[in-house]
Structure 1
Amino acid sequence: MSVTILYCSLVALVFLILWKFTVLKTFILNLWEALTISSYYVCHAVVRTLQRVVWSCNGVKDHMVMAEYGAVYESCVQVQRIIHRGRFSTMNHPRPWDFIGLHENFTHPQVLLSPYVSLYCVTETHAYFLQHPDDVDVHHSRTSPFMYMAQFEHAITLYCIPLGHFHKLADEVGNPQIPVIWISNTGRCGSTLLVQMLENVPGTRCMSEPDALTNISLMDRAEQMSKEGINKALCSTIRMLCKPAPGIQRIAIKSRFNCVTEVDQVIQLFPEFHHLYMYRNMGNIMKSYYKFLHRDLVMCMLEWLVNNNLVSRLIPYVRNYLVHFIAGEESKKRAVRHLADVNFMGYVTTFVGSCVVEFQRLLETKAISMPTLHYNDLMRRPVEVTTEMFELLSLPSHYVQMALTAMQHDTQKGTILSNISNSSNNLRKMTGQDVRDMNVMLSVLGLPDMNEELRLPNGICG
């Protein structure tokens, strides 16, 4: 009996030591990641300050100012060689300061039409493009499941063009001359799989989350530009994303979930586009968000700031700032009264749910008939649903089987968003408080709760 007790005690001690070591190792790795990224931004701030001084002395700044005021179109694009890069979170939308670059020269905007140059982000004043190696296709899922990740990882040159000249170049390019499929979605609903299915159709270029669109959506939500400015930026961005390329017969663009608020403008600007909205039951969406958000260090830090009562009182800015990510004025009015009483996942649910509400409003108030695709329908009847979808999107039906081969792979392999490769690393478990707060906000927004089914009109059911 005593031997058994001793053995069990030793096993428990070893387990405790290993557990403590794992926790300590995780803490050290997270601390190192935070320090590394923080040091990058400090370094970037120092470099930018020094650059401003140097550029003021050597005339670069004067040339940039002239370009910003509409002059020197032939040499309005600043070229910088990228020497370092860093992003604080996978969830961050692209920003110019993701890169540290050294000024090389100024050049003609025609350089931005190269097939090896792609639009990365748009601000209130400039548009930023990236050049990648000739053997890297940043649009294709074999490079990365998401375009903005591929661009960030493989960029070698940064191009900066003032927004006025960006519009002029986009006007020269004109509207897309080939069919375009615009895919809106709730996120975590199989939309990445859908893009990779379409990618298997020969002659189709697919863009999974080109985040210049996300920049525009967030600027619109924060009222950083006028409505006229947003529409012009959106039009120019789409034109540049769809610039002519050899062998491309059609383009499919899947935006992030928050870009659903711009769908109405897209329809008005480009009425010939095909549209599709993909979604899933809210419970499945939010559980999937919960998994990958807790693999991201910055999201975990943000959660702590929101959920800690003392910190929330001392730094109310954090919760107040997050309100800007809610889509639609009506959803914002409904939600604000309840957000003070919910945790971080209540906020995330509000962000996602408000975009679903905005899509419902689009269907109801604008009388727009747009096909909708429920993930469960695609999984239950893949052949029938894909065949009907191809017909609605004017795609050749004989490529249906080829498209369905995308289902045999992990569509988000190599990223924290993959629920397959990261399943064993997901140590965080959803709490009862998380579920309660998510259901509270779903109810406030008038959406089905975590255990109910969400159904939208115009469904593709096969």
Structure 2
Amino acid sequence: MLWVQTSFYLFGLLTLAVGIGATLLVYCFYKEYFALLQDGLSLSLNSKSRCACTWIAYKNYLLYSIHLLLYGLLRICQLISLRIAGIQSHLDRCKVGEEYETSAQLLKVWSRSKPTFFTILYQRHFLSTHVKFVHPEYSLQKHITLMTVTDKEAIFCVPSSKVDILNVKKWPFLFHAQHKTAEYILVMPIQSLIKLASVLGDPTAKVIWIHHTGRCGSTAMAQVCNALPNVLTISEPLNVFSLDQYFKYKHLRNGSLDWEPTEEYLKIYQSTVRVMLSKSYLKSAEIIVVKAAPANSMVDLNLIVELFPKFYQCFDIQRSSTSFIASSMILSRFFPNVKPHATLQNCCNDKKHVEWLLGKSSVHNHTEFIAFVISWCEMCSHYMKLCESLTHPNVPAFKYEHWQSNPDKYLETFFKLVDLELTDERLQIVKDVLNEDSQKNSMFSREKVKQRGVEIPKDMIHVANSYSKFYHLPKWGESFTLPNTVTSP
């Protein structure tokens, strides 16, 4: 009879575990749905999009669903074991600002998964186990990079020390490299990040911060800079973007459209930038170039000017609406539908713009197209407002079409404005870099993009013109140059 009782108890425990796991899984899916909105991307199971990679995207999402199930079960076991071992008590003390010297938790990564290419990475995207607690300064090692920031914690990617994660030729996008190469992740409470940043202070190296629209040659420019001696390039980190999306979504979830950065947000933003540009990088670089995430340009344009006035900044690189949107439409074939309402969350920091856009019935049609129209209009609008607000605008604009027509003159102008000498040797290095496909190691290589085609019918152009009219921008196909543009044909 003993084995019967034992079997009964084991069955009961198994049933309880499955029940708790199912509940946690539903909760994870609930969180992930809104996280996808934060990322600005979402899957549409009823989509009529002609996206060539839709099936691959659905397969990835299925694999991610399995990953979430395993993550839920693992978390149940961890919550119990960490509490028994006393580790959870230490974590609780760290979260309230205690135990600073051992407040960073190092976790071993066993598996990873995310539903889309652009998903912001959180702990749930990794199956990981506790290794040890370390000092926050552990994060300052050269091979460790800041990955994600919220109002509660900061997450760092820890690859092998042999991996050059900042090699922009191999990894055009840092957020993609972080997902692929992480052997460990380092998690620290946000108070520890702020304290670490206060010790580090502002970077002493020259910092060039590149804002851009995307699909504009900015990746090639990042590789050009990275090829120069004593220059380090950080290409599209999502740490400040994750921070912006987290705070903005938390605010908009309460029904308010009037978003203004809070004092807490500004403090964390400043700390994030300081730690990302930490002094450990200065051992091998006198100049740091940051090619920011395009979706966060509207935020960065204002805050970098305010918080880091000594940074060299440029709006590199603007592109005409016609070429930008057409190129973005081709790019959209590589991933599922971009949702317009999520795009509003990414791009819009103006209450009037959000209210007007939400009132447009067309925002529900031609989803990818409208999303890119909104993105282009918002970026141009934010930049023009910045120029109007500054007595002496110190964020010059560069135009992609000028690069195409006269690359030597364009590069000469860029180097001069960021106070770099364009020697013959450097010019040859630049030309060698530009002869190669800047995104050949990504899913957006020239060969893959050439295989995609896009046609934009007249009715969609008419819709685009209705948006550009609201923003006081030119109609589709009309020539347009932003104020304070320093390049010329």
**Is the structural similarity TM-score above 0.5?**
yes
Q: Deviations over 1:227-284 (max 9, x none)?
A: 1122111111111111122221110001112222232221222111101102100111
Q: Deviations over 1:280-320 (max 9, x none)?
A: 00111111111111211xx23x66xxxxxxxxxxxxxxx65
Q: Does 1:275 align with 2:310?
A: no
Deviation at 1:195, TM superposition (A): 0.9
Return closer, same or farther for 1:221/1:28 CA change in 2, 3 Å cut-off: closer
1:96 aligned partner: 123
1:376 aligned partner: 401
Q: Does 1:334 align with 2:369?
A: no
For residues 27 and 176 of structure 1, what CA distance do their matches in structure 2 show? 43
Q: Deviations over 1:383-411 (max 9, x none)?
A: 11211211110112212332233221111
1:249 aligned partner: 286
- Confirm or deny: 8 A CA contact 1:79 1:160 kept in the other structure: yes
2:325 aligned partner: 286
The amino acid that maps onto 1:421 is E
The amino acid that maps onto 1:240 is V
For residues 403 and 144 of structure 1, what CA distance do their matches in structure 2 show? 18
Return closer, same or farther for 1:336/1:27 CA change in 2, 3 Å cut-off: closer
Q: Deviations over 1:86-138 (max 9, x none)?
A: 11111223333222211111111121111121101101100011111122111
Q: Deviations over 1:168-227 (max 9, x none)?
A: 011111110110001001111111111111112111000110110211232343355961
1:307 aligned partner: none
Q: Does 1:87 align with 2:114?
A: yes
Q: Does 1:437 align with 2:463?
A: yes
Partner of 1:164: helix, strand, or coil?
Answer: helix
For residues 78 and 70 of structure 2, what CA distance do their matches in structure 1 show? 12
Q: Does 1:44 align with 2:45?
A: no
1:389 aligned partner: 414
Query: For 2:159, which of 110, 124, 132 is the aligned residue?
Result: 132
For residues 333 and 61 of structure 1, what CA distance do their matches in structure 2 show? 44
- Confirm or deny: 8 A CA contact 2:319 2:399 kept in the other structure: yes
2:447 aligned partner: 421
1:358 aligned partner: 382
For residues 28 and 288 of structure 1, what CA distance do their matches in structure 2 show? 22
Deviation at 1:352, TM superposition (A): 3.5
Structure 1 gaps of 5+ residues are: 1-22, 304-318
Higher relative contact order, chain-length normalized (CA < 8 Å, sep 6+): 2
For residues 100 and 290 of structure 2, what CA distance do their matches in structure 1 show? 30
For residues 68 and 454 of structure 2, what CA distance do their matches in structure 1 show? 29
- Confirm or deny: 8 A CA contact 1:217 1:262 kept in the other structure: no
Partner of 2:419: helix, strand, or coil?
Answer: coil
Partner of 1:451: helix, strand, or coil?
Answer: coil
Q: Does 1:115 align with 2:115?
A: no
Partner of 2:359: helix, strand, or coil?
Answer: helix
Moved more, 399-408 or 57-66: 399-408
Q: Does 1:236 align with 2:271?
A: yes
2:296 aligned partner: 259
For residues 175 and 117 of structure 2, what CA distance do their matches in structure 1 show? 10
- Confirm or deny: 8 A CA contact 1:326 1:332 kept in the other structure: no
Deviation at 1:47, TM superposition (A): 2.4
The amino acid that maps onto 2:95 is E
The amino acid that maps onto 1:256 is A
Partner of 1:181: helix, strand, or coil?
Answer: strand
Q: Does 1:147 align with 2:171?
A: no
1:181 aligned partner: 208
Partner of 1:103: helix, strand, or coil?
Answer: strand
Partner of 1:294: helix, strand, or coil?
Answer: helix
For residues 330 and 53 of structure 2, what CA distance do their matches in structure 1 show? 17
The amino acid that maps onto 2:324 is I
Query: For 1:157, which of 184, 194, 212 is the aligned residue?
Result: 184
For residues 355 and 52 of structure 1, what CA distance do their matches in structure 2 show? 44
The amino acid that maps onto 1:451 is G
2:37 aligned partner: none
Structure 2 gaps of 5+ residues are: 1-49, 252-259
2:256 aligned partner: none
Return closer, same or farther for 1:453/1:39 CA change in 2, 3 Å cut-off: farther
- Confirm or deny: 8 A CA contact 2:57 2:116 kept in the other structure: no
What does 1:16-35 align with in structure 2 at a 5 Å threshold? Answer: 29=56, 31-35=58-62
Return closer, same or farther for 1:160/1:372 CA change in 2, 3 Å cut-off: same
Deviation at 1:382, TM superposition (A): 1.2
Deviation at 1:363, TM superposition (A): 0.9
For residues 155 and 54 of structure 2, what CA distance do their matches in structure 1 show? 36
For residues 307 and 344 of structure 2, what CA distance do their matches in structure 1 show? 29
For residues 352 and 337 of structure 1, what CA distance do their matches in structure 2 show? 19
1:314 aligned partner: none
- Confirm or deny: 8 A CA contact 2:373 2:467 kept in the other structure: yes
- Confirm or deny: 8 A CA contact 1:390 1:400 kept in the other structure: no
What does 1:202-217 align with in structure 2 at a 5 Å threshold? Answer: 202-217=229-244
For residues 451 and 52 of structure 1, what CA distance do their matches in structure 2 show? 58
The amino acid that maps onto 1:236 is S
For residues 327 and 223 of structure 1, what CA distance do their matches in structure 2 show? 15
Moved more, 405-414 or 222-231: 222-231
Partner of 1:422: helix, strand, or coil?
Answer: helix
Q: How many positions carry a matched residue from both structures?
A: 420
